[in-house]
Amino acid sequence: MFSLILLALFCLVFPVFLIWLTNRYPFFKKVGAIVLAYATGIIIANVGLMPRASDAYREVTIGQDRPYIPKTEAVEMVAAGTISHSDFRYNSIAVVQDSMQSALVLLAIPLILFSLNVRRWLRFSGKGFLSMLLALVSVMVIVATGYLIFRNSIDDADKIGGMLIGLYTGGSVNLASIALALKVDPNAFIMTNTYDMIVGAIVIMFFITAGPAFFRLFLPPFKAPAAADGDSTDIEMMNRKMAEDFDDYSGIFKKGIVLPLLAAIGLAIVILGIGVGISMLLPDVPMTISVILTITTLGVAASFIRPVRNIRKTFQLGMYFIVAFSIVIATRCDLSIIFQAKYLSLLGFVTYAYFGSLLLHLFLSWIFRINADDYLITTTGFVYSPPFVPMVAAALKNKDVILTGLATGMIGWILGNYIGVALGMWLGKL
């Protein structure tokens, strides 16, 4: 019992150190707290600090699509010799891990969405929204065709496809929530995200170096939209504030910020409770799916309430929970399993989804005369999520597109959950 409590406390508290590292040292800032969290969890899971599951245990859990064995059943299986005492300890840890990762994601989603200002972004983001729609169509088409190509060589390829939709419309936030909704195997989750990080690192380096010049060879140049009196100043202020806010955890423990944040957590818990209640009214819909979609809807709805939207640091607190989630789920990653040949097909699926969606979006942007800067910034907002937008805007030497990238990235956080879950369920029926 003590070891379980220690594990839970570590996963909840250690993100403070990771965030401090990313704020203190430029190298770790480039790596990112989520990547560091995955690395931490994987190390914990594979250096002998935790028990390993036997093949028999994996057959009972993964083979039957369940995260762990209920305690009473596990006791009976140990007595019958079906699983070992080590498996029983592993199962106790799995119960805690599964509960924590579910709770962390379900609380993070509404907290992140509370900070949205949809009306204002819709007002200022202009033609970038056409680029966003083209990017969304591109991702959906490529993931669906990728599923048809790889479905016979990847286990649960339909669920992987749903995760990729979330990943390429909202980044790690949607990846985590869709994985939870579709009950994706932790090893598949880690490998999907790992391959995405590898491929994504190559692409983002291209975006911030040769990318601007390259895409301007094919697409029209950017033209700043005419702004009404006062609008240009308003846009510039929003650009600067949002670009600075994403990684700014300063002052989060001050009394004037902590107390409203506690109220925001309380509201997130109420929304979660409503989601659970609605799921009970929909017995034919898997519980996690109905809960995820309900809290997404209510989180967006709450963002239209000004006092809720104006609570400071809700986004940062939500991302803190995502970092903690990343540690928890990484502690379930067994490297002896993920380096199997079957995951090479998963690498193929991820690579196809990544480059296929980028190229199809580029082709559609060429047809619809989307300018190069809007193409790059909306792609960044979707695929890499809003925190990467200022970096690419700097490479473009164009601060006017920051708001477009932030807006499309935020809208991606909303749309990704709905579309990812829906597509993941639909692909399985093809």
Question: What is the tens place of the pLDDT at every residue in 396-412?
Answer: 887 777 777 777 777 88
Asked if 220 and 376 touch (Cβ cutoff 8 Å), the reply is: no
The answer to whether the pTM exceeds 0.75 is no
Distances (CA, A) of 357 to 137, 143, 164, 190, 349: 9, 8, 11, 21, 12
Could you tell me which residue, 69 or 171, shows the higher pLDDT?
69
Q: Does residue 84 sit in helix, strand or coil?
A: coil
DSSP-derived letter for residue 339 is: T
Amino acid 356: pLDDT: 94
Could you tell me which residue, 335 or 168, shows the higher pLDDT?
168
Which among 165, 233, 212 has a CA at the least distance from the CA of 372?
212
Give 143's pLDDT tier (boundaries 50, 70, 90). very high
Q: Does residue 232 sit in helix, strand or coil?
A: helix
- How many CA atoms lie within 13 Å of 84's alpha carbon, on the beta-carbon side? 10
For residues 62 and 53, give the distance between their C-alpha atoms in angstroms, rounded to a whole number: 11
- Token output for 300: 């967006």
* Most confident by average pLDDT, 209-223, 247-261, 284-298: 209-223
The torsion of the CA quartet 166, 167, 170, 174, rounded to 10 degrees, works out to: 60
Any alpha helices (H) in 246-332, and if so which ranges? 255-281, 287-303, 306-309, 314-330
Amino acid 382: pLDDT: 83
Sorted by sequence, the CB contacts under 8 Å of residue 338 that are 6+ apart come out as: 187, 190, 191, 194
Amino acid 206: pLDDT: 86
Mean pLDDT of the region 34-46: 84
Which among 140, 127, 165 has a CA at the least distance from the CA of 408?
127
Sorted by sequence, the CB contacts under 8 Å of residue 3 that are 6+ apart come out as: none
Any alpha helices (H) in 151-210, and if so which ranges? 157-170, 172-182, 186-207
67-78 per-position pLDDT tens digit: 778 888 888 888
For residues 348 and 8, give the distance between their C-alpha atoms in angstroms, rounded to a whole number: 35
Distances (CA, A) of 64 to 57, 172, 265, 337: 10, 27, 35, 17
Give 368's pLDDT tier (boundaries 50, 70, 90). very high
DSSP-derived letter for residue 225 is: P
Chain Cα centroid distance, residue 77? 36
> What is the percent of the chain with per-residue pLDDT over 90, rounded to a whole number?
19
Q: What type of residue sits at position 385?
A: S
